A and B are shown apart, each in its own frame.
Chain A
Amino acid sequence: MLTPLITPHRPDLSLKQVHISVRGLTMAYDDFLVQKEVDFDVLRGEIFIIMGASGCGKSTLLRHLIALKPPVTGEVFFDGQNLWTLPPKERQSVLLKMGILYQSGALWSSMTLAENIALPLTAHTPLSAPEIADLVSLKLALVGLSGFEGFYPAEISGGMQKRAALARALALDPEILLFDEPSAGLDPISARRLDRLIVHLSESLGITAVIVTHDLASLLDIGTNSIFLDTETKTIIAKGPPDMLLRTSTHPTVKEFLTRGQSKKTATNPPEAPL
């Protein structure tokens, strides 16, 4: 028996509904300001890139989006619902519409891959054990890991762990997938394969994808919209489709980032020894 994968929430992209919106968000660790006045909207079905140099607060922003860290000021909305003013039960049900792929994969190491994927299904759906087993095998097949049900996370390679973690993120048929550095630690071929998988999921299931990355090839290839977080000014300095930013952005930092510092010599380049 096959449970339908295509859930009825397939969105109409022509309507351009706002899916996630962030308003006036300030992020800080104790006294250390990370980013301030972060404002952006993610539309349904978009592949949205959050980019910026290492240490600019990309991953912290992601932790704010998934309610692991309360904002200092500002709000995060999902479908118009303010994540932090919702009662805990409803916030939980909003969070269950998100699938998250952590940087390290974060598979539960004491469980097999099948148990990892089955756990959210057992807890949050009324499905029976054989139905869950079918779903688990389907999700593993989607990420190219058929037959690995009984393996423990430590027994498979890093790239396979990433894919298994994606299968777990897909377990509850989420509306939003969030990725923290999906290509980190992957070889270029596996990274491209993961990119294609993201595009495929977004196109066929209408999933909104939010990707934190500084992998140029990937963000230029698949991103449909983006923001650029700056370390110096501690706020967003550019918004728009990444390929458009590459062509039109005049901000030196953005330009340097998107061209790997090839655009022009700037002060941060190693100086040539003077005569």
Chain B
Amino acid sequence: MQQPWVDILFEQTPLARVLIGGAWRIGQNCPRADATINRLQSLQGLEIVRLESLDLMHWDSLLLTYIRALSQFCDAQGITLDTRALPEGVQGLLMLAAAVPERQDASRQKNLDDWLSILGRQTLWLVKDIGLLADFIGEAILGFLRLLGGQSQLRWSDFWRLVEACGPNALPIITLISALVGMILAFVGAVQLKLFGAQIFIADLVGLGMAREMGAMMTAILMAGRTGSAYAAEIGSMTVNDEIDALKTSGFSPMDFLVMPRILAMLVTIPLLCLYADIWGMIGGALVAAGLFDISASEYLIQIQTRLRLIDFEVGIGKSAVFGILVASAGCLRGLLCQRNASSVGLATTSAVVTAIVYIVISDAVMTLLVTALNLYKR
């Protein structure tokens, strides 16, 4: 197949002839309009450009984009573009494309993409996001007060269904992860402790680590990935399908009807899951201690009983309750803010998990500081 080509002839001063030939097809190496425009710009006294097709064999949209670019250049320069010598089909399509003028307000202003603009946009977005979160928290508190006052539209059947989904159904994965975390803690610690012959302190390390910190943290992160994302996806797809609007116009507050049962379900189940994770973590630690470092289960248990006090569990479980509220809120908030298209449900889900994990880590730092400042672990 013949290569597409363009030739420019400038024989009489006001008229340039642009000759087009070959096979203009997507996939061929077609000449770019920029090159032609550069050539035309360098011509002195140019007033008319005539397009002529010479042995033009095949053409498709690539030829049209080439001519459109040329015609935009000519319009801007006040040069007449003569297309009458082109095939009829090309002329017809060009006129069709030019029939409805571009709507000025239709094309959105392009976002600038230098780093300063990106920083500015991100900052504005962050400020807006914090505002939305504050709104949501306010609404949620009002919803909770309505619940206490018996004014809420919350349906308890929804609540129990949600409790089942985020409690018992999460047990297998929590068992697996917390037992492994316990084993890892034990192993990492034991290698060091063995240097001093102090392997028995594996029990302290695993027990305190799980009860105060890792049990709550791992449970919360699992719940963010498992349940928070599910909340965002459920509520997000309801938004896409106008179901949230239908709730509002039927006189239901999405806060009472959708958000409250989810936050409550999480708040009820996560402390129990956290305690369950603590126990499995310690069992995991015991397995490593018994299997690799010659500490019998009874020694391990006695050591844990002497070291751990109720306050250690209380701190961890308290933290997990806070994490639970944050995870459920992040999921519901992202779902409600979802745009009306399918890809935004995906974005909402991702963002729910990311937001939840950020909240978990920040609030954990704050709570750890508080616990230290209040000296809660003092013997």
Contact = CB atoms under 8 A, between A and B. Distances in A.
B99 A108 contact: no
* B-side interface size class: 20 to 34
B27 interface: no
Given A268-B99, A273-B92, A68 B251 contact: no
A95 B251 contact: yes
B356 to A, nearest CB: 22
Contacts of B89: 273
A274 interface: yes
B91 A273 contact: yes
B96 A96 contact: no
B375 interface: no
Given A100-B246, A267-B99, A271-B96, A32 B105 contact: yes
Given A268-B99, A270-B96, A123 B252 contact: yes
Nearest to B237: A109
Give the most central of A66, A98, A102, A268: most B CB within 10 Å: A102
Contact of A271 (B95, B105, B246, B251): B95
B76 interface: no
Contacts of B92: 270-273
B249 A98 contact: yes
B97 to A, nearest CB: 10
Interface in A115-129: 119-120, 123-124
A40 to B, nearest CB: 21
Contacts of A119: 250, 252
Contacts of A67: 249
Interface string A252-275: 000000000000000110111110
B55 interface: no
A1 to B, nearest CB: 25
A104 B242 contact: yes
Interface in B83-106: 84, 88-89, 91-92, 95-96, 99-100, 105
A103 B95 contact: no
Interface in B248-266: 248-252
Nearest to B253: A92
A270 B238 CA distance: 41
Nearest to A95: B249
A68 B250 contact: no
Nearest to A96: B251
B317 to A, nearest CB: 31
A106 B153 contact: no
A103 B242 contact: yes
Contact of B245 (A96, A98, A102, A124): A102
A119 B249 CA distance: 13
Given A123-B252, A273-B88, A109 B238 contact: yes
Contacts of B41: none
Given A68-B249, A92-B251, A120-B250, A108 B100 contact: no
A63 B95 CA distance: 38
Nearest to B157: A115
A114 B194 CA distance: 66
Nearest to A103: B242
A181 to B, nearest CB: 12
A104 B241 contact: yes
A106 B96 contact: no
Contacts of A103: 242
B34 interface: no
Given A268-B99, A268-B100, A273-B91, A102 B251 contact: no
Contacts of B248: 68
Given A98-B249, A102-B246, A271-B95, 5 more contacts: A95-B249, A95-B251, A109-B241, A119-B250, A123-B252
Top 9 closest pairs, chain A to chain B, by CB? A106-B242, A273-B92, A106-B246, A102-B242, A120-B250, A273-B88, A271-B95, A106-B243, A100-B249
23 contacts: A63-B245, A95-B249, A95-B251, A96-B251, A102-B242, A103-B242, A106-B241, A107-B246, A108-B243, A108-B246, A108-B247, A109-B237, A109-B243, A110-B234, A119-B250, A119-B252, A123-B250, A267-B99, A270-B92, A271-B99, A273-B91, A273-B92, A273-B95
